[in-house]
Amino acid sequence: MSIINYASREIQFKIVYYGPALCGKTTNLNYIHQRINPRNRGDLVSLATATERTLFFDFLPLNAVVIKGFVTKFQLYTVPGQVIYNATRQLVLRSVDGIVFVADSQWEKMEENVESFSNLVENLARQHMSIEEVPCVLEYNKRDLPNIAPINYMEYVLNNNKKRLQSFEGISSTGQNVFAVLNAVSQILLHKFSKQSEAPHATPPSPGIPADNVIPENKRARA
């Protein structure tokens, strides 16, 4: 749950990167940490195993001035993607304000994507929240790999709910659309708390990706 402190004129928001194992959640945070001005961020904290698999969570605090008169603190978390760590995912989701669901675009990962998204919906329900209420965007990651599913298929599989979510193609290893995704979820959650509660781009105009965020075919790196 976000909280505002009038004495320090600060607002805090918690954004969680969710998705199946090895989909690129930590890579998103690593890229943001590397690229953002050190004055506007804290240290990246990773609670990971010796093989760099997330054990508990990764955490990155960011500061920005986006609301007149207040410093806005965004706290970015990842969850461990491995199926066995569901109890940990529930803990990290506690008090969440916004979610980035990172999907792995490879064909063989589609079942894991669907399972992880269902798991997200279930874990939100445990907190009496629903995917329709929580600001959420989809990041179809690893678009540079050769064996990827078409975007329309991913939309059909993951974004076929009552409320369509904003979605982006991404390559988190090179930073493609990493900031676009973060900006999108931040704007949606900020507008949720504003007096005009409808987010400007909460519903995409048509199935698929916002035109500005599609990676042209000739710019997609191939493995």
| 100-130 b/e (C-beta count within 10 Å ≥ 16 → b) | bbbbbbbeebbebbeebbebbeebbeeeeee
- By CB under 8 A, tell whether 134 contacts another protein: no
How far is residue 6's CA from residue 217's CA, in Å, rounded to a whole number? 48
Nearest-approach distance from CB 161 to another protein, in angstroms = 21
- By CB under 8 A, tell whether 136 contacts another protein: no
Report the first-to-last Cα separation within the chain, whole angstroms. 41
- Identify residues 167-206 at the interface with another protein (CB under 8 A): 175, 178-179, 182-183, 186-187, 190-197
Among 1, 84, 211, 223, binds another protein (CB under 8 A): 1
Distances (CA, A) of 11 to 30, 169, 178, 194: 24, 30, 23, 13
- By CB under 8 A, tell whether 67 contacts another protein: yes
Interacting residues with another protein (CB under 8 A) = 1-8, 11-12, 14, 32, 35-37, 42-43, 45, 47, 56-57, 59, 61-62, 64-70, 72-73, 75, 77, 87-88, 91-92, 94-96, 175, 178-179, 182-183, 186-187, 190-197
